[in-house]
Amino acid sequence: MLRFVRQFSHHLIGYATWLPPLIWFNTYVAQVTFISGPSMYPFLNPQYNESLKRDLCLVYKLYAQWNLERGMVVTFRNPVDPDKITVKRIVGLEGDVIHTRPPYPQPTILVPEGHIWVEGDGDKSKDSNYYGPISHRLVTGRVTHILSPWKRAGRVRWWEHASSRSQP
């Protein structure tokens, strides 16, 4: 019995030492995560109102704040709630003039230095039209692949989604 306990705890500690590398990898290199909510409908979660199934995505985190482009689907810390991670598409980069949507108070805005303009694909989206341009420092990762469901699995072809609403 004693031997079993000793062996068991030995294995437990052995597995526990893998936790830091795992967390580190998930935070700084890549993470597989479920996307919830309709804000990226119909690109992600096209069946959000029919089932509880959520899309499983690969989020690439290495150098996530560098070389951002219009059309990319990014994860970022929500400017209104720092403990929430949000997924949106980049519509404008710094220096772009954006034609905003309600409820943003001004019809157009110049995206300031170091900031990006993000929007959801769906209409049920609380995005930059609600909280304004966001700092690129809030970006935590890029959604690069859809892993599940199988039907839509594959690379996220963000470059096909360049918006017509921003002018460099």
Catalytically annotated residues = 39, 88
Site for another protein in 51-70 (CB under 8 A): 65
Smaller CB separation from another protein, 115 or 156: 115
Compute the least distance from the CB of residue 52 to another protein, in Å. 28
Q: Near another protein by CB under 8 A, which window of 1-9, 17-25, 38-46, 158-166? A: 17-25
CA 25 to chain centre: 17
Site for another protein in 139-158 (CB under 8 A): none
Site pattern 96..135 for another protein (x: CB under 8 A): --------xxx-----xxxx--------------xxxxxx
Establish if 77 lies at the interface with another protein (CB under 8 A): yes
Provide the pairing of β-strand 97-99 with 134-135.
unpaired
Smaller CB separation from another protein, 109 or 156: 109
Q: Are 40 and 48 contacting, i.e. CB atoms less than 8 angstroms apart?
A: no
Provide the pairing of β-strand 154-155 with 134-135.
unpaired
Residue 152: DSSP 8-state: G
Compute the least distance from the CB of residue 49 to another protein, in Å. 28
The closest of 160, 61, 73 to 116, measured between CA atoms, is 73
CA trace torsion 8, 10, 11, 17 (10° rounding): 140
d(CA 39, CA 44): 8
d(CA 88, CA 122): 10
φ/ψ of residue 159, rounded to 5: -70, -15
Among 12, 13, 17, 50, binds another protein (CB under 8 A): 17
Smaller CB separation from another protein, 4 or 18: 18
Chain positions contacting another protein, by CB under 8 A: 17-18, 20-21, 23-24, 27, 65, 77-83, 104-106, 112-115, 130-135, 137-138
